[in-house]
Structure 1
Amino acid sequence: MTTASACADPTMAAIGDAVAEGRAGDIASARRKLLSLWSAIGVTGDPLHRCTLAHYLADLYEDPAQALAWDVRALDAADAVTEQRVQEHHAGLHIAGFYPSLHLNLADNYRRLGSFATATEHMEAAKEHLPGVPQDAYGAFLRTALEGVAEAISRRDTTRRPSAPGPTS
């Protein structure tokens, strides 16, 4: 997922700013800002805002149970996002392209919690949506992450992947 062209949408811009802050190392501040935005958006607010915010907020939690709660919210919101809304935000995006990453994150959280059967279900869902992902750097990153999570599931490994987004303990 991307926050490109967020300048036309102040909420997406604020989400992008908080994400950048978190990636720069200020996890606590980024989390506070995203939680504040979540309160402002509300559970019935713009599904694109909710999906994007929840997707990135999940990455700011080391605890897989906390991350899972936000990743479930992201997937739920994605199901309410229309293609038209995504295109209004950025003409190069398609809602179908969100699903591999959303399901990957869910699979990884369930794996870390030891729920390997559910993790495998989400891996299969991610793979079903993968053909729509371009063969670019992001696509390569996503495919590599899917392979890593699938391998960890097969080993029944619940440790955090070194390449996983988010804070490290």
Structure 2
Amino acid sequence: MSARIEGNQMTDPMMAEIGRGIELSQSGEREAARRLFSGLWGVIGATGDALHRCALAHSMADVQDDPHEELVWDLRALEAADLVTDERVQQAGVASPVAGFYPSLHLNLGDVYRRLGDLDRARDHLARGRAAVGELGDDGYGQMIKGGLDRLADRLSTT
């Protein structure tokens, strides 16, 4: 999902700020991204707009150094995604429908569970991510997520 909220096409100011944090992270400024995301979480909170919570938590997970903290944020993102509607996504100017979020969310959860040694949960999220890949386009983002799921499958097959 992160790649889908980058850029200046966002019509939702909070999504644009989250996109700014993603850009910081991708340019190697993980600590600055963490600070920005932390401040935004203080505004959104655990009960704020589900799209904002999903996007922010998904992005915050990517800048965590501790896999246990990463897991907390990944789980928050998945929980919030279940509350987002396609109408809300369109209002915010996000290119993909909600169903397109799930392959990436499950990829991240599968990978962090693998790193934490919970291989059953890792395999479950791999299966769930693969089941949802039909929602992705055949563009660069879709290929990146599909490739990530393939790499996760390879890593899990050797453990």
The 2-side partners of 1:107 and 1:140 are apart by 18
Cα pair 2:55 2:77 within 8 Å, conserved: yes
Over aligned residues, Cα RMSD in angstroms?
A: 1.2
Q: Kindly indicate which of the two structures has a greater share of residues assigned to helix.
A: 2
**Residue from 62, 67, 71 that aligns with 1:64:** 67
SS for the counterpart of 2:80 is: helix
CA distance in 1, matches of 2:28, 2:94: 31
1:167 match: none
CA distance in 1, matches of 2:138, 2:19: 24
Aligned residue number for residue 98 of structure 2: 95
Deviation, structure 1 residue 56: 0.7
Matched AA of 1:67: E
Amino acid at match of 2:91: E
How far the C-alpha of 1:93 sits from its partner, in A, is 1.6
Query: Structure 1, residues 32-59: CA drift from partner, whole Å, max 9, x if none?
Result: 1101100110111111100000101100
Percent identity reads 44
SS class of match (2:60): helix
TM-score by length of 1: 0.88
- Residue 73, structure 1, aligned to residue 76, structure 2: yes
Mapped pair 1:49 → 2:52: yes
Contact 2:22 2:59 in 1 (8 A): yes
Measured in 2, the distance between the counterparts of 1:140 and 1:133 equals 8
CA distance in 1, matches of 2:28, 2:140: 23
Please report the TM-score for the alignment, with normalisation by the length of structure 2. 0.93
Structure 1 residues 1-169: aligned runs within 5 Å:
1=1, 2-3=4-5, 4=7, 5-6=9-10, 8-90=11-93, 92-156=95-159
Q: What secondary structure is seen at the aligned counterpart in 1 of 2:64? A: coil
CA spacing shift, 1:44–1:135, aligned 2, 3 Å: same
- The one-letter code sitting in structure 2 at the alignment partner of 1:68 is L
Q: Which amino acid aligns with 2:38?
A: L
Report the secondary structure of 1:56's partner residue.
Answer: helix
Letter of the aligned partner of 1:82 in structure 2? T
The runs of 5 or more residues in structure 1 that have no matched partner are 157-169
Q: Which amino acid aligns with 2:54?
A: C
Q: 1:32 to 1:152 in 2, by over 3 A?
A: same
Alpha-carbon distance in structure 2 between the residues aligned to 1:117 and 1:21? 33
Shift of 1:91: 6.2
Unaligned 5+ runs, structure 2 = none
Q: Which residue identity lines up with residue 40 of structure 1 in the other structure?
A: V
Q: Distance in 2 between matches of 1:91 and 1:10?
A: 12
Query: Residues 90, 9 of structure 1: CA spacing in aligned structure 2 closer, same or farther, 3 A cutoff?
Result: closer
CA displacement 1:60-94 (0-9 Å, x = unmatched) = 01322111110000000000101110111226320
